Structure 1
Amino acid sequence: MRTPRTSIIMPVYNTANTVINAIQSVRNQTDPNFELLIMIDGSPDDSADIITAYHKKNPDTRIHIFNNPENKGLSAMRNQGLEHARGDWVVFPDSDDALEPTFLERLHQQAELTGADVVNCAHNMVDTRGHKTKRLKGTPGIRTGEQAAYELLQDELSPYAWDKIIRRSLFNDVRYPDIERAEDECALLKCYLAAQSVSVIDDPLYNYSVTPDSLTWSRITPVEETHRLIAYFEEALGEHRSKPDAQKALTVARVLAFLNNAQQALVVGGDSARETLRECRKGFTYTQALTTLRTNRVFGAAGVLLKTSPKLYRVLYGIYIKRTYKM
């Protein structure tokens, strides 16, 4: 059996209404040299039946279905996919989104042109009316893997798994962690540090579905998980951690992590929200917020504001979400 160039790993959970569109967007690729690994994660809806029926009606030897009876989570599904992947490159699309037809072709062209180990692209945010808004995280061009890692920590480069191709060899010693938040960013940080170079292109090749539910949280992540996340970043940096650029990036990452945790508390509310907010405000110092301010004015100002006026912070955060996602 010929080895495919790309292994596309698609976890599926509760996406019966969208998964066929996602699968079809993969099959419509202008670069046909891929395998699609569909990882059904104990989905309680009829996703498994729908996928099986579709595959029976549209047989494709490139598609491999793994129907896991027990829900184990996104990280476990991606890791299972990596164990079975045969391609030189990997892609991790979500099952409620869609690839543009030239996603693989264009990203592989860039990889061949630059020799990059990871290639990121822009994406379209698609609202419930089908309206698309282009978004690019990162400056187009090429950078070292180490520089990409620092940009990632400072929210200057895409933290998502789905808008890029990644050389599979970078995952030789990397798996998605069992952590409640930012598992994409955790794995990417290690991949970037292992990469020789990372490229970013301006083409919007991925369609990300934005719904009101996708912008809210149903529960508040325990603050302990945010401390775990920071510890993971520190461990991942290893020998780089003592470098000034790494220290600055870690400071920004700390402020951002506690800001995100605080946003959950403000949005979800409930009995634990006040205590979570209090702990998040203690998660970073004014000095760290000011360091972040010099790197990113918006996030630095948000950090200062969170420590001084949480109520005003919540109002401004709501405005930010509406403007960013046009909702």
Structure 2
Amino acid sequence: MAAPKISVLLPMYNVEDYVEHCLDSLLAQSCTDFEIIAVDDCSPDRSGEVAARVLAQQSRIPWKLVRNIENKGLAETRKIAALEARGDYVLCVDSDDCVHPDLVRTVLREAQQHDADIVNFAAERIYPDGTALPEIESGDGVITGVEAVQKVLELKLSAFCWNKLVRREIFVAAEHPCGLIFEDICVSVQTLANAKVVRLIPDRLYSYMVRESGISRRFNPQVVDLFSIMDRVEKSTASLPIADHKRLFFRLKYAWAYRAIAFQTAITAPTYYLASPILRSVSEKLRVKHLLGMFADRHLKLSIVMTMLKIHPWIFYCVVRRFNRR
């Protein structure tokens, strides 16, 4: 059997209630030039069994189910899937999300027309109440990989893995940080940096399902992984010919990452006792020059609130909780 052009990488962990819906959206694709590589990451529920049943009931799309003998985490599981893949390109899909029926047809057409290494597309977020918001834009054009990385640093291009079609050899060659969350940022920056041609398309082809148990909606001490992720991103982008790299990376690191760690912790932690160690870790890393840098970069409100964090994490916690009641 000839190898398909695209391999869909589908890691599974605790998605028994969602994976069938995800697979249904993949199996309903208008183009069949793809395969599904599903990996059961030692899930404690029946995710793997559900996937095997759904996939075995059809013969339209080739598939393979791999089972990790121990939990590897999302990043490493995606790489395991990529190493099992046969396609020229890989497409990451989270197994609790769903995709547009023309996803494969559209990204494959764009990749072939532009000889693109990466095709980046738009997505929507669907909230627990059913509200769908087109919050993840992509733009429209053909740019270089370095230009795409610059857009990530400028916070103009999202660094998710699941809204990008990527040449398999580029994806496999990237570092997939084991055991860390927010790993998409690290992987996306590296794959974009190694791409010659990046095609940006405005088509909204992916539905990201916002779950109450998701990373951004529950207290998770692992949010501090962003410190390590930022170090890796800085290392992988420092040598790229990006104008004003230092200022742009400062914005990504402090105005986005440090803010995300601090605000997410304050909003989601049920008590200050739980939030305190994380908020203190951010406070200790903040310097006066960083606060002044935020102010100079026209982030006045953020610089004021982060100054409160520097003065004392308890003040920051109270202010953020007061104005972000859930």
Give TM-score scaled by structure 2 length. 0.87
1:312 aligns with 2:319: yes
Share of identical aligned residues, percent? 24
Q: What CA distance in whole angstroms lies between the structure 1 residues aligned with 2:173 and 2:78? A: 14
Alignment of 1:17-166 (within 5 A): 17-60=17-60, 62-166=62-166
The 3 A distance-change label for structure 1 pair 19 and 303 is farther
- Partner SS state of residue 211, structure 1: coil
Residue identity matched to 1:283 = K
Q: 1:238 to 1:287 in 2, by over 3 A?
A: closer
Structure 1 Cα separation of the partners of residues 108 and 60 of structure 2: 22
Asked if structure 2 preserves the Cα contact closer than 8 Å seen for 1:149 and 1:192, the reply is yes
Deviation at 1:82, TM superposition (A): 1.3
Choose 286-295 or 151-160, whichever is displaced more.
Answer: 286-295
SS of 1:213 mapped into structure 2: coil
Aligned to 2:311: none
SS in 2 for 1:212: coil
Q: Which residue of structure 2 lines up, in the alignment, with residue 203 of structure 1?
A: 203
Per-residue CA shift, 1:87-140, capped at 9, x if unaligned? 111111111111100111112222233333211111122233433221233433
Measured after TM superposition, the shift of residue 278 of structure 1 is 2.5
Q: Return the letter of the residue paired with 2:36.
A: L
Whole-angstrom distance in 2 between the partners of 1:51 and 1:136? 28
- For these two proteins, the number of residue pairs brought into alignment is 315
Residues 263 and 314, structure 1, Cα contact 8 Å, conserved in 2 = no
**What RMSD over aligned residues (CA atoms) do the two structures have, in Å?**
2.5
Q: What is residue 218 of structure 2 aligned with on the other side?
A: 217
**What's 1:253 paired with?**
252
Q: Which amino acid aligns with 1:279?
A: S
Tell me, what secondary structure is at the counterpart of 2:244? helix
Matched-pair contact (CA < 8 Å) for 2:15–2:47:
yes
Give 2:273's match in structure 1, choosing from 252, 257, 271: 271
8 Å contact kept, 2:83–2:172: no
Can you list the C-alpha shifts for 1:132-151, whole angstroms capped at 9, x where unaligned?
Answer: 22123343323221121122
1:199, 1:294 → 2: CA distance? 33
Q: Which whole-Å CA distance do the structure 1 matches of 2:207 and 2:223 have between them?
A: 31
Q: Which runs of 5+ in 2 are unaligned?
A: 309-314
Offset at residue 199 of structure 1 (A): 2.5
| Residue of structure 2 in register with 1:325 after alignment | none
Q: Structure 2 counterpart of 1:147, which letter?
A: E
**Structure 1 unmatched runs, 5+:** 323-327
